[in-house]
Amino acid sequence: MAGHSDAVLGVRFGPDGTMIASGGADWTVRLWDVASRRPIGDPLKGHGGEVYEVAFSPDGRTLASASDDRSMLLWDVASRARFLLAGHTNRVQDVVFNRAGTMLASASTDNAVRLWDTLTHRALSAPIPSQSKELLGVASSPDGKTLATTGADGTVRLWGLSTHRQLGGPLSGHTSIVYDAAFSPNGRTIASASADGTVRLWNVATHQPIGKPLRGHRGFVLGVAFSPDGRTVASGGADGTIRLWDVAQRRQFGPPLNGHGEDVNDVAFSPDGQTLASASKDATIRLWSVASHRQLGAPMTLQNTAISVAFSPDGRTLASSGGDLAVRLWDVSSHRQLGGPLTGHNGTVYAVAFSPDGSTVASSSSDGTVRFWDVAGRRPVGGPIYGHTSDVYDVAFTPDGRTLVSVSSDKTIRLWNNKSFADYRDMLCRTINRQDAKPLWEQAEPDLRFPGVC
């Protein structure tokens, strides 16, 4: 089949076998009808260099092309509309879709493999830069449209998840580091915890504080959480206490929850709102009755500082992390650990979060990575996820479970496509199945043995 005016560098059948796509040194992509051996329409033009590879999406509706011009183009096969994917710094050598067609992987001679969301046309691991100092906490709104981040600059900042842009100015009022923030269940209010010793409530729509700061802790306030009904905020502080606050009245109710011997780093409500979990520098995790303010049973003990806790969506399992470099799963009813520790991080594990379906736990660490863990199998899902260049302090899933958000002392926010990680390793293997596969594999999955032939 003749048509290209220079060498043909890549060719692929469509999924139903009736169409072929080709890419050439003449900078064009061409579609061919298999039965008639004739070109379908005019050449697809848009690249500024040789086209090295083409790939059809599983449904055959989209075609991806990779070029010497350092870019990829996504083509709508029916309308021939094109969408640019840019980010590589050298020739793009190969492209491949995941099984669902929701993600594209690209491999380049810049020694990088990149992942792209085929719906938003954004790089899945591209950072969102922040103007604040190091970022310490992140929370997702209940509708999944807004992110709240906290940082060393003493502010809370809101971000549009789809636009990757800050929404308005920072929420300013704290006089020191803001360690943590949480959205109310209706998404209208944010609670924040600060080293200035206060908890603050904020109106999400106006970015203004609601009333005066909530005072009671003697020292830094390190963690904050809303109850599922939105009526109560719990906070944990460096004074070793947990305090419960009436949101409507904006005042503390009941006595502090005492029992920890050192800083309370994190607090989390159970899904039914009846139990509160706390993680402390005293290397214990404790459960509390919200109604009686009393501790429930004996503490769960770690080998080092407990930093983060999270309930599973069904409330039966608790995940924890800390200074012992491990993630641990606990049975809430018996207070017993479920299996051994989940190990793999090479530094302090700062945060854990359950996916909304409860099947996965995500963790972040001072080793600069994010990891995913299979809850049922109590094993890692793939290798560590690289991208941040410094400590990763917090992670949060969006409500639909598709995206994990991470924040770091490198002053960036990163978004990771959780649903696509099931396909990640297989896609990576297929993407780099050529002579330079081994160095690319070792860059993308440095702690996994190169499999040889994928």
CATH code of the domain in which 117 resides: 2.130.10.10
Spatial contact of 294 and 288, defined as CB atoms under 8 Å apart: yes
The single-letter DSSP state of residue 166 is: B
pLDDT one-digit tens code per residue, 321-359? 999 999 999 999 999 999 999 999 999 999 999 999 999
Same domain? For 90 and 107 the reply is: yes
Mean pLDDT, residues 86-110: 81
Mean pLDDT, residues 269-274: 97
Could you tell me the two tokens for 321? 């992390």
Provide the mean pLDDT of the chain.
88
Could you tell me the two tokens for 351? 């945060």
Least Cα distance to 425 among 394, 389, 381, 390 occurs for 381
* Structural domain harbouring 397: 127-419
Mean pLDDT, residues 377-404: 87
How far is residue 89's CA from residue 167's CA, in Å, rounded to a whole number? Answer: 30
Maximum alpha-carbon separation in the chain: 83
Chain centre distance of CA 411? 15
pLDDT band of 451, cuts 50, 70, 90: very low
- How many structural domains is the chain composed of? 2
pLDDT band of 107, cuts 50, 70, 90: confident
Same domain? For 309 and 367 the reply is: yes
Least Cα distance to 413 among 383, 370, 371 occurs for 370
> Is 359 among the domain residues?
yes
pLDDT one-digit tens code per residue, 370-385? 999 999 999 988 777 7
Same domain? For 178 and 106 the reply is: no
Same domain? For 149 and 41 the reply is: no
Please report the pLDDT score of residue 448 as a whole number.
Answer: 44
Mean pLDDT, residues 286-311: 96
For the cut 90, the answer to whether the pLDDT of residue 291 exceeds it is yes
Percentage of residues in the chain having pLDDT higher than 70? 89
How far is residue 157's CA from residue 165's CA, in Å, rounded to a whole number? Answer: 10
Spatial contact of 305 and 320, defined as CB atoms under 8 Å apart: no
Same domain? For 295 and 366 the reply is: yes
Same domain? For 132 and 117 the reply is: no
The secondary structure element, H or E, covering residue 425 is: helix 421-431
pLDDT band of 422, cuts 50, 70, 90: very low
Higher-confidence position of 438 and 279: 279
> Is 81 among the domain residues?
yes
Same domain? For 289 and 315 the reply is: yes
Same domain? For 179 and 312 the reply is: yes
Mean pLDDT, residues 259-281: 97
pLDDT one-digit tens code per residue, 11-32? 999 999 999 999 999 999 999 9
Same domain? For 179 and 199 the reply is: yes
Spatial contact of 248 and 269, defined as CB atoms under 8 Å apart: no
For the cut 80, the answer to whether the pLDDT of residue 443 exceeds it is no
Query: What backbone phi and psi angles, to 5 degrees, belong to 430?
Result: -70, -35
Which runs of E-coded beta strand occur in 218-323? Answer: 221-226, 232-237, 242-246, 251-252, 264-269, 275-280, 284-289, 300-301, 306-311, 317-322
Mean pLDDT, residues 89-96: 84
Least Cα distance to 407 among 159, 167, 192 occurs for 159
How far is residue 313's CA from residue 116's CA, in Å, rounded to a whole number? Answer: 29
Give residues with Cβ within 8 angstroms of 100, minimum separation 6: 58, 419, 420, 423
Mean pLDDT, residues 106-132: 72
Mean pLDDT, residues 116-120: 81
pLDDT band of 417, cuts 50, 70, 90: low
Same domain? For 392 and 430 the reply is: no
pLDDT band of 436, cuts 50, 70, 90: low
For the cut 80, the answer to whether the pLDDT of residue 284 exceeds it is yes
Percentage of residues in the chain having pLDDT higher than 90? 67
Query: What backbone phi and psi angles, to 5 degrees, belong to 422?
Result: -65, -30
Lowest mean pLDDT among 74-78, 133-137, 281-285: 133-137
Same domain? For 118 and 182 the reply is: no
Could you tell me the two tokens for 305? 């500082």
Please report the pLDDT score of residue 10 as a whole number.
Answer: 87
Chain centre distance of CA 289? 31
pLDDT one-digit tens code per residue, 188-239? 999 999 999 999 999 999 999 999 999 999 999 999 999 999 999 999 999 9
How far is residue 146's CA from residue 136's CA, in Å, rounded to a whole number? Answer: 17
Please report the pLDDT score of residue 97 as a whole number.
Answer: 87
Could you tell me the two tokens for 445? 């999955």
pLDDT one-digit tens code per residue, 137-158? 999 999 999 999 999 999 999 9
For the cut 60, the answer to whether the pLDDT of residue 281 exceeds it is yes
Please report the pLDDT score of residue 131 as a whole number.
Answer: 61
How far is residue 352's CA from residue 342's CA, in Å, rounded to a whole number? Answer: 12
pLDDT band of 387, cuts 50, 70, 90: confident
Spatial contact of 181 and 156, defined as CB atoms under 8 Å apart: yes
